[in-house]
Amino acid sequence: VEGVYDEGYSPQLDRSVTHRRSILFVKNDYWIVLDRFDGSGTHVINTFFHFAPGKVIFDTGKLSCTSVNDNRPNVLIAPSDTRRTSLSVVEGCKSPCQGWISTEYNRWVPAPVADYVYNGPLPMERAYLVYPLRPGEKNAASIEKLRLTVDERILPNKASAYAVKLENGRTDYILLAHDVPGVKRFAGMETDGDLAIVREDAFGNVTKLSVHGATFFRRGRQQFDIEK
């Protein structure tokens, strides 16, 4: 799914910045939340993730955060990039009002909120991995941005490729290039599609391939047939 907001920010409704958010669900494992901000100049951007009441811990190096609830499922949030970014977890703050949920009328309950703050130039792109964890499971995944070209060109904020790596050695390669024509090349792969999910096991074997809008897909010298 994808949505765009361009109706302005601040009391003055400054419309110099456009925010486009795409969400991809990789069944039945995780979500990728992709934010793209178009504009110019330097801006401060807050991205919030709201947790249910409970404990949340975060890694100051990777800027990932994880809910920690015994005997219950948890969730990991991991960004693809940490440059010019800080992370804090807010809970039960009254000024400004942040870190609450309301379970019934006129009743507020403190709940952790992860606040990712980017301070830097636009345009800017950032992906977040939202990875559910079974009870007792530890942090099991990370996400990183890959170099991607479209017809031998780099198109910032238009087309993206990411690698999601799991602790069991599995790697998922994700192409997100909605409505962007041309041949995309990333991580030794090539396709004219606008969406691709390529799953490799710990030995580098392709165990899953999903492509949308493509007439071909190649991985090195390996050619895959595309079913219409």
The whole model's pTM is what? 0.93
pLDDT tens digits, one per residue of 69-80: 888 999 999 999
How far apart CA 73 and CA 60 sit, in angstroms, is: 23
**Given this model, what pLDDT does residue 199 score?**
96
Picking from 164, 222, 145, 227, the residue whose alpha carbon sits closest to that of residue 193 is 227
Counted residue by residue, the chain has a size of 228
How far apart CA 189 and CA 194 sit, in angstroms, is: 13
Residue range(s) in the chain whose domain bears CATH number 2.70.98.70: 1-137
**Given this model, what pLDDT does residue 9 score?**
87
**Given this model, what pLDDT does residue 140 score?**
78
**Given this model, what pLDDT does residue 56 score?**
95
Dihedral over Cα of 107, 110, 111, 113: its sign: positive
The region that residue 144 occupies, defined by phi over 0 for left and psi between -120 and 50 for alpha, beta otherwise, is: beta
Please identify every stretch of the chain with a pLDDT value under 70, giving residue numbers as ranges: 139, 227-228
**Given this model, what pLDDT does residue 227 score?**
67
Topology of domain 1-137, CATH? Beta-galactosidase; Chain A, domain 5 (2.70.98)
